[in-house]
Structure 1
Amino acid sequence: MATRSRSRPAHAPGPTFCSYIPNGGKLVTVGPNSAFRIFQHGSNDEPAIIDVPTDSHLAVAAKNDFFVAGAEDGSVTKYSLATNAMDQILVRCTMPIRDLALSPDGLWCAVASDELEVKVVNTRDMSQVMYCRDQLRPVKHVSFDYSGSLLAVSCTDGIIYVYSLSSELPQLVRRVDGLIPTLEGDAEASAKAVWHPDGRAFGAPTVSKDFQVMSRSDWSPQRAFKGHTSDITAAAWSPNGALLATSSKDKALILWDTRTQKILKRYDSVQNTILSIQWHPTDNVLSYTNNNGELFIREDFVPDEHTGLLNVGLQPAPMNNQPLSEVSGNARRPITNGHKPGGRDNRDGTPDGYLDDLLGPDAMSEDGAGFIEDDDGAGYAEEPNRNGKRTATALAGPRPKRPNGFSSFQPRIHESFQPGSTPWKGNRRYLCLNLIGFVWTVNQDTHHTVTVEFYDRHEHRDFHFTDPYKYDKACLNDKGTLLSCDATADHPAMLQYRPHETWTSRTDWRTPLPKGETVTSMSLSDSCIVATTSAGYVRVYSLFGLPLKVYRQKSTPAATCASWRDYVMTVGNGPVGGDGVTRLLYSIENVKRDEVCQNEDILALPEGVELRSVFFSDKGDPCIYDTEGVLLVLKHWRTPGQAQWAPLLDTKMLARLADGKKEETYWPVAVANNKFHCIILKGGEESPYFPRPLLSDFDFIIPVSDASPDDEDEQEMSHHKVLEEQHARYALRHSLAVDLVENTNATSAQKAEVPAMQREVDKVLLQLLANECREGEDHGMKALEIATLMRDRSGQMLAAAGKVAARFQRDILGEKIIQLAERRMVGLVDDDEV
């Protein structure tokens, strides 16, 4: 099929630039005149036009809900795509804007101008600005890598400055000299560093008119694309990195194969110099703008014989040490997007990798369905060994068929995890998030940098240090910071503890683990440090490194652990259930008294639900949060064999989600002050990311019903259900308070909380009794049942219940309540009677 090109007059003659929004639904163009145009993808209708007070716009960058534009007068303005109106002026420069770049999350906008510094502005709060000031000449281009942690700044002096934006002050990590040409700020030639989608490298135009790939690991030159005879003016990788499109001043537009660096097609119908190239995120469409105010949309840009390259998964950047992809036993196929090789969503980086698209879904399947079947047992279909040859067994002749009814069973275990830790995103991750503060690390290739920040900076000071050990786990509390790292060739696995305050010169300590042993999870309390290890041990240390206890966990491999004061809770994989998944078992022990409170009890998780986090509340009760968004607390856990997991909150039943319009989940942080503290994750996010997320809190709501008050009768029912929920919640809080007082050396405030909670329970019961009396005489038996649940032994609450019955003229009920009160006064009614 021939490439179809649609020319769309966009602006007055002059430099024109374009940007797709990430979902590909719209294309925004800016140019010399005082209007922006927004084209709908796939539509031939006239574009939406935004008239603006400025002209001569030289840069644009777009996200799904907004875009930013930079003008020659030095202004950078944010516009809403929902209203097609100006939102705010992000920043003003004293010199013309040359380029703009938005971070992948859209929170930061990098601004390149004829000024010497680069401003990085927060798109939600323009008062938050970071400055990159190491360059000595004006800047022509800026570009974020795909993690948003690195910013490449192409300067007019021919140097690329690479900054790390992982801290509040940008850090210059590399100067790449001798790569790009020296250019004037208004030159049509490009010197932009274009990051490859896999994040390992970027490419940039060179003095020799090539497009050179540079590795970010050691900043060394890799493969180069050679074929232009004039200065390159624009370049763009395809969304999967398998293809590259470049243009030059001699009006050439070239399509390249990334793996081989060979030209797939040269387009000669270009009439003017292309200044901006944009691939559509999902379709075979390439759009570009030129220096004559025109927009071209090329449909079916990649020829039919090469469209397979556009449909494969994410491809690796063209590196010198990249093995040639081939269909043989010598090549190791890369894992893409977390899927194992051989899946339908994963193909290798060669045209052979998409043969299954051409030949059919079963032609190249691993089990040989529809291709070669070893029906006579002669070994024809046996896989070759790593040398590309068949084994002696395969060549020995026919062999008996293996019965098809037998297969090896492998139970699925719950992988170990560190509560409060997030996975890597780019080169950054949180090691710990709680109500004290947070610990985060940045991968600088040869080392890490760790930052510890506190919410209360009057109590503790933030600190930052270079981490040569590459710590991967952390815990934080009021007394100190605990870190751990895996073993390497240079050092064993280690624990490091740094107290926040000390009256000696030694401020921290490290302790190595035995050879071959690594930390799988750890926790920090006010009195001890706990670590579960790959050898199945639970290691307990004092806060200053003295080993207090070492024992082997019964349920292995370990999943996670938590601690509070002298109590240690460990979770491990237990017996396999009927679904083939191991059941998690937990144990709770007081290491100071050497007492086991709960021993290998089952963690209350339904089938198909996994554990998300484990922690102790501020009052010392064990809590868990699962992948269904349910928060549970453990009752009676200090009494062996009596523990029960009771729900405190089901986040799916929150009122904010009732209309079904919000798509959000919650990252658990803590249970404190009778609230669930968490981080709200929106839009399908799975973990918090930078900049520092805000904490939210929700009141406990025990899931007892799901009433929707649409009319008056249902509103009355809803009020009744609210009281029932309050009774269940207050009764649970009372039970936890009684357990605390009866089993610990409680303070006077904790002891006073028990009768206070008892009165709260009885007040709710009194309101429920009034509701039943209001319903009629036939509700008398339920009203009497409610009266028997009252916990007050002085008779005051039962007397109040009698007055309520009298007010509603429920004489028989009133008499029975008086009898119940009299029997209680003489001790004829047990506490447990209902």
Structure 2
Amino acid sequence: MALHNTMTTVTQQRVRGRPAHPSGPTFLTYTPNGKKLVTAGSNNVIRVYETDSDGEPTNIDDCQENNTAIAATNDFFLAGSEDGTVCMYSLDSFTYEKMLTRCTLPIRDIALSPDGQWAAIASDELEVKVVNIADTYRVLYLRGLPKPAKHLSYDPSGTYIAVSCTDGIVYIYSLSTEEPQIVRKVDGLIRILETESELSSRAVWHPDGRAFAAPTATRDIQVISSDDGERQRVFSGGHMGDVTALAWSPNGALLITAASDRKILLWDTKTQKVLARYDHPNVINMVWHPFDNIVSFVTLDGELFIYPTFLPSDAVPLLEKTLQSAPFIRDPLTEISGNSRKPLTNGVKVKVDPRGKRRGTPDTLDDILGPIGDEDDFVSDDDGAGYLGEVNGYGKRSNGHLDAIDVFDSKRRAIYQAFQPAIHDSFQPGSTPWRGNRKYLCLNLIGFVWTVDQDTHHTVTVEFYDREFQRDFHFTDPYLYDKACLNKNGTLFSCPPANGNPAMVFYRPHETWTTRADWRTQLPAGEDVTSISLSESYIVVTTSANYVRIFTLHGTPFRIYRQKTSPTVTCASWRDYILTMGNGPVGGDGSTKLLYTIENIKRDEVCQSEDIVALTEGAQVKSVFFSDSGDPCIYDSTGVLLMLQHWRTPGQARWVPVLDTKQLERLATGKKEETYWPVAVAQEKFHCIILKGGDQYPYFPKPLLSEFDFKMPVSTSAPQEKPETSAALEGPKLEESFVRSSLLLSLLEDLVTSTNATHAQRTELSRREVEVDKALLQLLNVECREGEERGMKALEIVGLMRDRGGKMIEAAGKVAGRYGRTVLQEKIGELAEWRLMGMEDDE
């Protein structure tokens, strides 16, 4: 067998077909260890073939007629038939063991979980059974299918099942809960087929578990991201007939497909190119040997073909590689762009055995000591191409590939014991990762900026909410911008170094009183942009060299300095103020502490220098921005929005939670599963995008903005002895109102004190002072209703009033008198006198 050129038919030594079953649909599967191959067909005999043996197979007679599905572990196999039964047979004794389950209609497919403990069974019924092998009374049901399922596929982790339904939709079920739930529907992918159709609509998971592939109505093979359901690379232009079978190689580097055009195609996963073509008619099912260069398939004639050296010699090295990445358009594990970052490997060396498995310690020790292996025998994953072995959707290695722990000497241990702290990756506020070929560069209250990858270039669109203020615009982007900022004055872009060109910053003003002057500036060679921000006065750029570069709006370099904390994380700006964040010292959990600095560029004054960003353990900053009144805000991964109080006074700043989205009333029932993408804080509201289900980022079409009032997480626990009193019901709301009003008053006081306040701002300050006292007066009213025994707290509440003129305290006395609290009324009168005397002393 020799490979001549791509897209060329391979000349093979013809392998003799083995008559396995009568003509008709035939099925086959390898055991996970690759030692046995099991086939089933329309007769009542199941055959078990030994790998590397030309001898006769072992026949298991007296099975059910018209078998329609087969699945196997190393110890047993399952066979499903048209009479609705699924039976279990031993591979040690080759005998019948038990009936696993029975359905009322014919069985169509069986999928075993990776651990071999559960069997998912599809029939012509409108639900899929997931039966426990050891205890057949333990059954889960995949419900919600409008039509019967044709194919089933477990993902490599066993957490999800892809169901190819006869309605032309792929349903992804999560098995992480007691009642399996549909987490995603992929429509417009597979064609509508009947359950008995000889064509395939199977969704086949890539071995790395981050994507699956399925045949389309256009005879192509489309790859779909399991994380977000987006279309990735496509294997196209190969078949002239409908696809009947497909299978990934064990390491995911190759794909084989068969179709009604009498062809089997061998594809390169990385390039989606055809490496070889084979002539074989009527192929209906095929499987790849778990380890070796062997492909087996069956035909509608009931014949079995086993090719012991299926690959051409030029393609064999692809099969010998370790686990390869699924063919993404934009691979989130290998890219550094926006909010996506390639996993840090720190030059880790990994030893690989001939089967592509990493040798070494379990992951818990790997994270501390690093993998084990000879220094001269390694594969380096510096290019992020996936040579580190099997990874899950979060970039972590699974433990399914581990061999026994090696013994290594103390000298070798010392080499790999260097501690590497976990750092906070850089990100661009308001930007999303790539999903398919699209990503948002910026999302705020002004509008949206997004880009589309057209392979050779990008196309960028800027859209405004208020089209009377500014018209949308669209342009072709040859520079491949990956970050953007948008405000009422202009749009700022930056691009990474590419094709020998340095990183660049581009600013486009919306309108000027002269001819519009766009400008670009290049960064020095080797320096990349980590984040950018745009205010009414300045442009800020943080870089991989830990420089903070500040420009005027017309491109004049204004200031440059090196940030004390590194690596840099992000930045934000408002008028003359800029906020920068970077990685600081390592905390007790092994992660670096985030530090921030706020300075006034125009006055060259530092307000806060290298102060700590207050986060709970394990939390990350999702976004950072200034409110419409100029107060710094962060939104963290726990769903809490925090504002920075007293930030204009050095050493006095503190992060105050103004909203915990997990405590929103809309989530109280527990029926809604949603998170929130932060957009802005304006008019004392949190503006965000609601993300449904398991989505982590907004996507197209343009999402709608939602807003939530501030609600500080003040304790709302009711007294146990009187859970239904008015104080228990109203008190917590009024207490929260008091704390929130006091914070907003404090922020406005700082603004008025530190700036040339306008008359409107001073009037607003007086109004907020009254609001704080009103909240206290309402709280006093509740306490007075409760009885004389709450008089001490009632008097304390009056003492918290800011009223200097005495009107609010006088009103408090009237409230106490209304409820007949004479002693309390007298105490309030004495407090008013003391307040008045204090004012006279001050004068």
| TM-score bucket (shorter structure) | 0.5 to 0.7
Paired residue type of 1:771: V
* Aligned residue number for residue 40 of structure 1: 129
Separation in 2, partners of 1:335, 1:507: 44
Separation in 1, partners of 2:639, 2:646: 23
For residues 716-749 of structure 1, give each alpha carbon's deviation from its aligned partner in whole angstroms, at most 9, with x where no partner exists: 3242121111100011111112222222234443
Contact conserved, 2:239 with 2:259, CA < 8 A, in 1? yes
Contact conserved, 1:623 with 1:631, CA < 8 A, in 2? yes
Q: Would the alpha carbon gap of residues 112 and 746 (structure 1) be closer, same or farther in structure 2, given more than 3 Å must change?
A: farther
Contact conserved, 1:16 with 1:58, CA < 8 A, in 2? no
Q: Would the alpha carbon gap of residues 142 and 511 (structure 1) be closer, same or farther in structure 2, given more than 3 Å must change?
A: farther
- Secondary structure class of the residue paired with 2:185: coil
Work out which of the residue numbers 279, 286, 294 in structure 2 matches 1:254. 286
Paired residue type of 1:499: P
Separation in 2, partners of 1:505, 1:349: 65
Alpha-carbon deviation of 1:520? Answer: 1.1
Does 1:109 pair with 2:174? no
Contact conserved, 1:560 with 1:571, CA < 8 A, in 2? yes
Separation in 2, partners of 1:665, 1:544: 39
Contact conserved, 1:141 with 1:154, CA < 8 A, in 2? no
Alpha-carbon deviation of 1:213? Answer: 4.3
CA RMSD of aligned residues (A): 5.4
Alpha-carbon deviation of 1:628? Answer: 2.3
Separation in 1, partners of 2:625, 2:322: 41
**5+ unaligned residues in a row in structure 2: which ranges?**
1-74, 85-104, 154-159, 175-181, 194-198, 327-331, 334-342, 381-407
| 1:356-755 matches, cutoff 5 A | 382-385=374-377, 407-502=417-512, 504-506=514-516, 508-707=518-717, 712-713=723-724, 716-755=727-766
Which range is displaced more, 467-476 or 621-630? Answer: 467-476
- Secondary structure class of the residue paired with 1:415: coil
Q: Would the alpha carbon gap of residues 741 and 21 (structure 1) be closer, same or farther in structure 2, given more than 3 Å must change?
A: farther
Contact conserved, 2:162 with 2:170, CA < 8 A, in 1? no
Q: Would the alpha carbon gap of residues 580 and 595 (structure 1) be closer, same or farther in structure 2, given more than 3 Å must change?
A: same
Separation in 2, partners of 1:414, 1:796: 52
* Aligned residue number for residue 89 of structure 1: none
For residues 328-361 of structure 1, give each alpha carbon's deviation from its aligned partner in whole angstroms, at most 9, with x where no partner exists: xxx777579968999xxx99797453899xxxx8
Taking only the aligned residue pairs, the percentage that are identical comes to 46
Separation in 2, partners of 1:577, 1:656: 35
Separation in 1, partners of 2:513, 2:183: 46
Size of the alignment, in residue pairs? 665
| 1:46-61 matches, cutoff 5 A | none
Which range is displaced more, 143-152 or 760-769? Answer: 143-152
| 1:821-832 matches, cutoff 5 A | 821-828=832-839
Contact conserved, 2:566 with 2:584, CA < 8 A, in 1? yes
Contact conserved, 1:160 with 1:176, CA < 8 A, in 2? yes
* Aligned residue number for residue 278 of structure 1: none
Alpha-carbon deviation of 1:760? Answer: 1.2
Task: Provide TM-score, normalisation by structure 2.
Answer: 0.65
Separation in 1, partners of 2:797, 2:774: 11
Contact conserved, 1:709 with 1:718, CA < 8 A, in 2? no
* Aligned residue number for residue 7 of structure 1: 81
Separation in 2, partners of 1:818, 1:556: 58
Alpha-carbon deviation of 1:384? Answer: 3.2
Separation in 1, partners of 2:421, 2:172: 51
Q: Would the alpha carbon gap of residues 257 and 421 (structure 1) be closer, same or farther in structure 2, given more than 3 Å must change?
A: farther
Separation in 2, partners of 1:65, 1:662: 23
* Aligned residue number for residue 800 of structure 1: 811
Contact conserved, 1:667 with 1:687, CA < 8 A, in 2? yes
| 1:185-224 matches, cutoff 5 A | 189-190=242-243, 204-205=257-258, 209-214=262-267, 220-222=273-275
Contact conserved, 1:60 with 1:69, CA < 8 A, in 2? no
For residues 433-472 of structure 1, give each alpha carbon's deviation from its aligned partner in whole angstroms, at most 9, with x where no partner exists: 2222333333344333333333344444444433332222
- Secondary structure class of the residue paired with 1:806: helix
Contact conserved, 2:190 with 2:215, CA < 8 A, in 1? no
* Aligned residue number for residue 819 of structure 1: 830
Separation in 2, partners of 1:49, 1:610: 35
- Secondary structure class of the residue paired with 1:42: strand
- Secondary structure class of the residue paired with 1:596: strand
Alpha-carbon deviation of 1:608? Answer: 3.3
Q: Would the alpha carbon gap of residues 584 and 148 (structure 1) be closer, same or farther in structure 2, given more than 3 Å must change?
A: closer
For residues 739-762 of structure 1, give each alpha carbon's deviation from its aligned partner in whole angstroms, at most 9, with x where no partner exists: 222222344433322122111111
Work out which of the residue numbers 735, 743, 757 in structure 1 matches 2:768. 757
Does 1:180 pair with 2:223? no
Task: Provide TM-score, normalisation by structure 1.
Answer: 0.66
Separation in 1, partners of 2:416, 2:267: 51
Separation in 2, partners of 1:491, 1:161: 36
| 1:226-305 matches, cutoff 5 A | 226=278, 229-232=280-283, 247=284, 253-257=285-289, 262-263=294-295, 265-266=296-297
Separation in 2, partners of 1:807, 1:627: 48
Does 1:791 pair with 2:783? no
Alpha-carbon deviation of 1:429? Answer: 2.9
* Aligned residue number for residue 357 of structure 2: 353
Separation in 2, partners of 1:199, 1:411: 32
Contact conserved, 1:191 with 1:205, CA < 8 A, in 2? yes
Paired residue type of 1:593: R
Separation in 2, partners of 1:80, 1:520: 36
Paired residue type of 2:491: T
Contact conserved, 1:664 with 1:680, CA < 8 A, in 2? yes
Separation in 2, partners of 1:333, 1:27: 29
Contact conserved, 2:254 with 2:319, CA < 8 A, in 1? no
For residues 788-833 of structure 1, give each alpha carbon's deviation from its aligned partner in whole angstroms, at most 9, with x where no partner exists: 22122232211111101111222232223223334434544899xx
Paired residue type of 1:654: L
Separation in 1, partners of 2:409, 2:521: 56
- Secondary structure class of the residue paired with 1:353: coil
Paired residue type of 1:384: D
Contact conserved, 1:561 with 1:569, CA < 8 A, in 2? yes
Separation in 2, partners of 1:443, 1:708: 55
- Secondary structure class of the residue paired with 2:541: strand
Q: Would the alpha carbon gap of residues 207 and 154 (structure 1) be closer, same or farther in structure 2, given more than 3 Å must change?
A: same
Paired residue type of 2:273: S
**5+ unaligned residues in a row in structure 1: which ranges?**
31-35, 71-75, 83-102, 115-138, 184-188, 233-246, 248-252, 275-302, 307-316, 373-380, 389-397
Separation in 2, partners of 1:645, 1:22: 47
Contact conserved, 2:151 with 2:165, CA < 8 A, in 1? yes
Contact conserved, 1:152 with 1:163, CA < 8 A, in 2? no
Separation in 2, partners of 1:15, 1:653: 48
For residues 567-600 of structure 1, give each alpha carbon's deviation from its aligned partner in whole angstroms, at most 9, with x where no partner exists: 1011122233344432222111111222222222
| 1:76-91 matches, cutoff 5 A | none
Paired residue type of 2:131: G
* Aligned residue number for residue 117 of structure 1: none
